[in-house]
Amino acid sequence: MAFYVTTPIYYVNAAPHLGHAYTTIGADILARHHRQRGEEVFFLTGTDEHGEPVVQVAEREGITPKELADRNAQRFLDLLPRINVSNDFFIRTSDPRHKARVQEVMQRVHDNGHVYKGLYEGWYCPKCADFKTEGEIAEGNTCPIHRIPLDREREENWFFRLSSFEQPLKDLYGQRPDFVAPRSRYNEALAFINGGLQDVSLSRAKITWGVEVPWDPEHVFYVWFDALLNYYTALSFARDGDDLTERFWPASFHVLGKDILKFHAVFWPALLLAADLPLPERELIHGYLLMRDSEGVETKMSKSLGNVLDPFEVIERYGADALRFYCFREVSFGQDGSISPGGFETRYESELANDFGNLASRTLAMVDRYRDGVIPEAGIDEALSAGEDGLGELRQRVCELLDQAEISRALEVCWAAVRRLNRYVEERRPWDLAKEEARAADLDSVLYNLAEGLRVVGLLLAAYMPESCTRLLDALGEPGRELTDFGSRSGGARVERIPPLFPKLEATG
């Protein structure tokens, strides 16, 4: 089975921030989980390097757009290992192979009769790279997202006949109620379509930094068409001499933020239909990470608003796993949610250090102390495995939730299991059992079940916290990482005591 997951490609007009890390980690969790299920996975991320904002910033800095793109693409690339992201390829839209493929697809759109030349007049946000419709303009002709004045544009452009895809898109939404998730975003996209679609600019004549329109080289493609196509073009050149398109297209999941819903849920399927290409299976839209600004108002973190939390600093102090955990624990995937340094610390202490880290340390220490480091033989204890939220059903529930890209809910289910294991320790009091020779079999059972429970939880959480779970599973003597041959282990494995998975933080001044 093939699983193809993508993130948006990020603009290179500034450096990456936690919002970008959030989307990328979300996609990474899905990619890692599907790999553990034995599927053939392709996970794509990258940078969107054309368009006006890049030109403007480059001009300000006295360098070429390509120099700016090279510099900032490198920052996005550098972020990936630091947040432990396992992408299979990183696409840059300035790559000549991408450009050639864009031209090929767009020529087909042209030849299929979906393109014409016309005059564009209207409001344009250079930061969104978006021609705003009437309903998308805030007071005083400003951009509701960036709060900057919109530009009045009047230029001769090539247009894409988006209007002629109104009915096909309505049909698509009617036939595939899970095309866009969550449901609120599906409804928003459908309402946009039902509101009537206008044709959109497909090219710009005033800009030269972009992909040349093959039938009119005075123009470059409007950056969104060039950018959206990355999901398709990358497969043709990601592996030298091996075109992966057949194997992985259409994409299983596009993961993205709600700011770019319209482009993905309306333009993108229309463009694919116009090019006779299959549509992606699902689009997963998440909300904004919000930060409080200096006046205490919650705002979206954004480069242009200048209120970003630096992921590098967070990782420095808490580690990549803690960041990965926190993002999806604190902000339910799909909703907006506030994050803060204080929130990080609370979750880190109470959930990572106490709930999970302590459970691991205690279990490994008790097996070491009471059973010379070897997990005893015993049977599965119903007290832990039974019931809807029991460990027996855990794998299935996590898989079902992640099939729906319910990243936070799947994490919640795992955390309920961690807490159940902690309660089990308190109830069974293995330290008391150890004092009575006659209760050796009971102690065997408790230790076996704790080790087994930790193994199950560690395997399922490995997609979220790869580093710590690898350490834990190694310490438990578990060689595999797959979720396919999950069944219970018998005892006998040798465990190893390890330093705390999540050491307590030293107080800061």
How far from 254 is each of 5, 166, 187, CA to CA, in Å? 6, 22, 17
Annotated catalytic residue, options 146, 219, 262, 264: 146
Annotated catalytic residue, options 33, 114, 132, 143: 143
Active-site residue flag, 50: no
Nearest to ligand ME8 of 20, 428 (CB atom) = 20
**Cα 465 from Cα 455, distance rounded (Å):** 14
**How many CB atoms within 10 Å of residue 137?**
16
DSSP β-ladder status, 180-181 and 40-48: unpaired
Binding footprint of ligand ME8 on the chain (CB under 6 A)? 8-11, 19-20, 22-23, 48, 227-228, 230, 256-257, 259-260, 288-289, 300-302
Least distance between ligand ME8 and beta carbon 44 (Å): 11
Q: In DSSP terms, which residues pair with 132 in a beta bridge?
A: 123
Output DSSP code: residue 351. Answer: I
Active-site residue flag, 258: no
CA atoms within 13 A on the CB side of 84: 20
Active-site residue flag, 303: yes
**CB of 289 closer than 8 Å to CB of 339:** yes
Least distance between ligand ME8 and beta carbon 224 (Å): 7
Active-site residue flag, 128: yes
Least distance between ligand ME8 and beta carbon 453 (Å): 34
Nearest to ligand ME8 of 104, 259 (CB atom) = 259
Least distance between ligand ME8 and beta carbon 95 (Å): 14
Active-site residue flag, 17: yes
Active-site residue flag, 20: yes
Annotated catalytic residue, options 33, 114, 128, 132: 128
Annotated catalytic residue, options 33, 219, 258, 303: 303
Nearest to ligand ME8 of 304, 358 (CB atom) = 304
- Residue 18's φ and ψ, nearest 5 degrees, are -60, -30
**How many CB atoms within 10 Å of residue 490?**
12
Q: Select the residue whose beta carbon is closest to ligand ME8 and give its number.
A: 19
Least distance between ligand ME8 and beta carbon 265 (Å): 12
Nearest to ligand ME8 of 336, 474 (CB atom) = 336
Least distance between ligand ME8 and beta carbon 54 (Å): 10
Which of 42, 455, 449 has its CA nearest to residue 231? 42
Active-site residue flag, 117: no
**Cα 137 from Cα 124, distance rounded (Å):** 10
Crossing angle (nearest 10°) for helices 320-330 and 407-428: 100
Active-site residue flag, 254: no
DSSP 26-50: HHHHHHHHHHHTT-EEEEEEEEE--
Nearest to ligand ME8 of 304, 354 (CB atom) = 304
Q: Which residues are catalytic?
A: 17, 20, 125, 128, 143, 146, 300, 303
